[in-house]
């Protein structure tokens, strides 16, 4: 009897979480695949068991009372802990580590280096997610992410990855055909611009302003929304791109890109390796974090 009652109570809590989060018994029923009367009945049982009203029934939907809001918060925390525990148990078996990085970082920084990590840790399965948006690491089950800036990630664990240093880059052929003696000449050159939708990045206008230079009234800007395409266009000689040091340094070393001018800007928004807050890193995740930091220090 005790087990049956306990199971029923847990089931009622799950129904409550859905109803409170959705603000509707009907939507909760749709989410859970049960009938609306079943949701209503479960909530009456839970309120009777607790001796307190959890909802204010309204004409359209329901609204949680103060007691309901508190219970939702606590149940949500409990479900998060359960989800975390399940994820960690799966990780113990699979030794899988999930890393989220931008497409450009994955293409130009990570892939040329990843073989070294696999040689060092052949038992760790690395799962790489490319994204140009900032994800909820815990909700998306991401162990580590490389993120720009610290302000939006104060509630995460974080470790310095690289400073955000930006300088012009172009192909050797472009520079030979379009000499750039100074920054004024650069401002009048074909400029390849990254227009990132989700993260604000330093544009050419802002970069040049650091040196007291303005773009002409009709600048020769070619706009792209993917940094990998920006770099490919630069390699093909279509113009001058902004080069983030940690990404373009290997391309410079290979002779695919050159720095036409020595000017460089380091912003106050370094890149960090971030992880969900509130728990120690698993051993395999810590191995990846330490490897990323070590690799970044040599780039």
Residue pLDDT, tens place only, 233-290: 999 999 999 999 999 998 999 999 999 999 999 998 899 999 888 778 889 999 999 9
Q: Which two tokens stand for residue 283?
A: 């051993």
pLDDT, tens only, 42-65: 999 999 989 999 999 887 778 899
Q: Where are the domains of the chain?
A: 2-88, 95-161+271-298, 165-266
Confidence of residue 169 (pLDDT cuts 50, 70, 90): very high
Cα dihedral 79, 84, 90, 94, rounded to 10, equals 160
Highest mean pLDDT among 73-77, 100-104, 114-118, 149-153: 114-118
Q: Which two tokens stand for residue 286?
A: 């810590």
Do residues 276 and 131 lie in contact, with contact meaning Cβ atoms separated by under 8 Å? no
pLDDT, tens only, 8-23: 778 888 899 999 998 9
- DSSP letter at 225 equals S
Kindly report which listed range (98-102, 136-140, 248-252) carries the lowest average pLDDT score.
Answer: 136-140
Confidence of residue 212 (pLDDT cuts 50, 70, 90): very high
The superfamily in CATH containing domain 165-266 is Periplasmic binding protein-like II (3.40.190.10)
Average pLDDT in the 65-88 region? 84
Confidence of residue 89 (pLDDT cuts 50, 70, 90): low
pTM of the model: 0.64
Angle subtended by helix axes 25-32 and 2-22, to nearest 10: 120
Q: Is the pLDDT of residue 2 over 60?
A: no
Higher pLDDT, 195 or 173: 173
- Per-residue HEC secondary structure of 269-280 comes to CCEEEEECCCCC
Mean pLDDT of the chain: 87
Domain 2-88 is of which CATH architecture? Orthogonal Bundle (1.10)
Say if domain 95-161+271-298 classifies as CATH 1.10.20.60.
no
Tell me how far apart the alpha carbons of residues 200 and 210 are, in angstroms, rounded to a whole number.
17
Average pLDDT in the 84-112 region? 79
Identify the pLDDT of residue 242.
96
- 3-state SS assignment for residue 224: strand
Nearest to 277 by CA among 159, 157, 144: 157
Tell me how far apart the alpha carbons of residues 179 and 21 are, in angstroms, rounded to a whole number.
61
Identify the pLDDT of residue 182.
93
Q: Is the pLDDT of residue 152 over 70?
A: no
At which residue do the structure tokens 């380091």 appear? Answer: 266
Tell me how far apart the alpha carbons of residues 42 and 13 are, in angstroms, rounded to a whole number.
9
- Burial class for 120, CB neighbours closer than 10 Å (0-12, 13-18, 19+): exposed
Tell me how far apart the alpha carbons of residues 38 and 45 are, in angstroms, rounded to a whole number.
11
**Comparing 2-88 with 95-161+271-298, is the CATH topology the same?**
no
């Amino acid at each position: 009897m005790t087990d049956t009652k306990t199971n029923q109570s847990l089931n009622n809590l799950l129904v409550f979480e859905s109803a409170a989060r959705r603000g509707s018994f009907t939507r909760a029923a749709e989410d859970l695949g049960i009938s609306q009367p079943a949701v209503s009945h479960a909530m009456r049982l839970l309120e009777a068991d607790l001796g307190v009203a959890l909802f204010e029934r309204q004409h359209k939907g329901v609204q949680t009372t103060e007691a309901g809001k508190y219970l939702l918060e606590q149940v949500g925390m409990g479900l998060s802990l359960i989800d975390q525990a399940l994820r960690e148990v799966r990780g113990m078996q699979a030794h899988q580590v999930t890393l989220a990085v931008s497409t450009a970082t994955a293409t130009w920084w990570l892939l040329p280096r990843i073989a070294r990590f696999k040689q060092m840790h052949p038992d760790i399965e690395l799962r790489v997610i490319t994204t140009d948006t900032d994800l909820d690491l815990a909700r998306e089950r991401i162990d580590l992410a490389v993120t720009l800036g610290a302000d939006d990630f104060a509630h995460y664990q974080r470790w310095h990855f690289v400073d955000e240093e930006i300088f012009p880059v172009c192909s050797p052929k472009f520079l030979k055909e379009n000499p750039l003696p100074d920054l004024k000449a650069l401002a009048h050159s074909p400029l390849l611009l990254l227009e990132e939708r989700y993260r604000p990045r330093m544009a050419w206008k802002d970069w040049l302003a650091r040196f007291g230079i303005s773009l002409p009234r009709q600048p020769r800007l070619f706009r792209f929304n993917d940094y990998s395409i920006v770099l490919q266009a630069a390699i093909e000689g279509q113009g001058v791109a902004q080069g983030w040091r940690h990404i373009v340094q290997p391309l410079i070393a290979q002779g695919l890109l050159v720095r036409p001018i020595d000017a460089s800007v380091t912003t106050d928004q370094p890149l960090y390796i971030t992880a969900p807050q509130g728990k120690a890193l698993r051993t395999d995740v810590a191995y990846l974090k330490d490897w990323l930091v070590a690799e970044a220090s040599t780039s």
